[in-house]
Amino acid sequence: MEKILVTGANGLVGRSLVRLLLQEGYLVVATGRGDSRLQADDPSLTYYPADITHPFELQLIMEKEKPAVVVHAAAMTQADDCELRQNDAHLCNVEATARLLMDAESFSAFFLFLSTDFVFDGKKGMYTETDAESPLSWYGSTKLEAEAIVQTTDMSWAIARTCLVYGPAAEQGRSNIFSWIKDNLQRQQPIKVVDDQWRTPTWVEDLVAGLLLIIRQRAMGIWHLGGPQATTPYQLALTIARHYRLDENLVTRVTAATFSQPAKRPLLTGFDISKARQHLGFSPGSIEENLAKIDA
Ligand SMILES: NC(=O)c1ccc[n+]([C@@H]2O[C@H](COP(=O)([O-])OP(=O)(O)OC[C@H]3O[C@@H](n4cnc5c(N)ncnc54)[C@H](OP(=O)(O)O)[C@@H]3O)[C@@H](O)[C@H]2O)c1
């Protein structure tokens, strides 16, 4: 069976992808910062702690493992951190991607890079793969710069852009929009949630199913993998509150101007996923369907 290397394996997307690839019978080489937080004990899984910004840690792993496919999910993903630590963000999101791509060129056949709706300025919304990018934040700029580097390679490549990914938080993992809303409401904590930023929230299991379709089909090019519904974080919070019969009155509707955050967020993003539906067979579920699956 084919060997696939996944960076960022301790992250929200990486750990779901590793789980799916193992289920599907792949040999998985998972890398993450520090010890493994993957709760998986599988003979097909090898984990290496590796810092992607290190000049040759990943190269040594690539030389040893020679994976057929590389999925690069590791990144500095917190937009405000990237804004405040621009050099670190560039090292991690751009320079490390360039180095990993060069390593992959020696050993691998296919490179899949994870990117973001933050490459857009949020004036239009429901973006297609051919819409012009114009990031507002340093995070978005670094991801776009890395996308451009990925596109220069002679090997087969794909870029999967995704948007507001949600799923259960890992025990030691960072929270995400779903776990943050649910945990606060369960603890009876009031939350302020913005109602003027539109997104197509993406269930992490749908996203990794889409990544698997790209890998299987060696589907080159840029792909928008998002959920099927456009909504705001505020509307999402109400949907979650109703689903779990939690107190909707704890959710206060605010606008983005309420918060002074270092990184500017695009107002209207969300993806038109027609291309992925048509060519990959990507078929994400509705938010309500996915909440029911989390509980099942
Ligand atoms: N989540 C979203 O809503 C979203 C939306 C659009 C695009 N994306 C993209 O999807 C990809 C996966 O994101 P995610 O949601 O899984 O984010 P995440 O949970 O923050 O995972 C990213 C992982 O990268 C690791 N990492 C960061 N710097 C590293 C370094 N120097 N060396 C090794 N590992 C490092 C982090 O390690 P630690 O756990 O130790 O910090 C983390 O486990 C990213 O490329 C992101 O840009 C995500």
DSSP assignment letter at 151? T
**In the prediction, which pLDDT does 294 show?**
83
DSSP assignment letter at 171? T
Q: Note whether residue 256 is domain-resident.
A: no
For the Cβ of 54 lying below 6 angstroms from any atom of ligand 1, the answer is no
**In the prediction, which pLDDT does 41 show?**
84
The preferred substitution site among 33, 178, 202 for testing ligand 1, maximizing ligand atoms within 8 Å of CB, is: 33
**In the prediction, which pLDDT does 113 show?**
98
Report the separation in Å between the CA atom of 75 and the middle of ligand 1, taken as the mean of its atom positions. Answer: 4
Whether residue 159 contacts residue 222, with contact meaning beta carbons closer than 8 Å, is answered with: yes
For the Cβ of 94 lying below 6 angstroms from any atom of ligand 1, the answer is no
Q: Note whether residue 116 is domain-resident.
A: yes
pLDDT at residue 211 above 80?
yes
* Average pLDDT score, the chain: 96
pLDDT at residue 40 above 80?
no
Q: Note whether residue 102 is domain-resident.
A: yes
Task: Name the domain count of the chain.
Answer: 1
DSSP assignment letter at 231? B
The model's pLDDT over 64-92, given as tens digits with 9 standing for 90+, comes to 999 999 999 999 999 999 999 999 999 99
Q: Note whether residue 258 is domain-resident.
A: no
For the Cβ of 77 lying below 6 angstroms from any atom of ligand 1, the answer is yes
Whether residue 136 contacts residue 122, with contact meaning beta carbons closer than 8 Å, is answered with: yes
The model's pLDDT over 165-204, given as tens digits with 9 standing for 90+, comes to 999 877 667 889 999 999 999 999 999 999 999 999 999 9
Tell me the pTM. Answer: 0.97
Report the separation in Å between the CA atom of 249 and the middle of ligand 1, taken as the mean of its atom positions. Answer: 32
Q: Note whether residue 240 is domain-resident.
A: no
Instruction: Write out the residue range of the structural domain in which residue 93 sits.
Output: 3-167+202-226+270-285
Contacts of 199 (CB under 8 A, 6+ apart): 117, 163, 164, 230, 231, 232, 233, 269, 270
Residue 296's pLDDT band (boundaries 50, 70, 90)? Answer: low
Whether residue 113 contacts residue 145, with contact meaning beta carbons closer than 8 Å, is answered with: no
Q: Note whether residue 180 is domain-resident.
A: no
Whether residue 64 contacts residue 48, with contact meaning beta carbons closer than 8 Å, is answered with: no
Nearest atom of ligand 1 to the alpha carbon of 74 = 24
**Looking at residue 101, which CATH number applies to its domain?**
3.40.50.720
Strand blocks (E) in the chain: 3-7, 27-32, 45-49, 69-72, 110-116, 156-162, 165-166, 191-194, 202-203, 221-225, 251-254
> Amino acid identity of 23?
Q
Please, what is the angle between helix 287-295 and helix 233-243, to 10°? 40
Q: What SS3 class is residue 211?
A: helix
Q: Note whether residue 37 is domain-resident.
A: yes
Q: Note whether residue 295 is domain-resident.
A: no
For the chain, what percent of residues have pLDDT higher than 90? 93
Mean pLDDT for 259-270 is 95
For the Cβ of 10 lying below 6 angstroms from any atom of ligand 1, the answer is yes
**In the prediction, which pLDDT does 54 show?**
96
For the Cβ of 114 lying below 6 angstroms from any atom of ligand 1, the answer is yes
Report the separation in Å between the CA atom of 91 and the middle of ligand 1, taken as the mean of its atom positions. Answer: 14
Whole-Å CA distances, 39 to 9, 18, 45, 71: 11, 10, 11, 20
> Amino acid identity of 123?
K
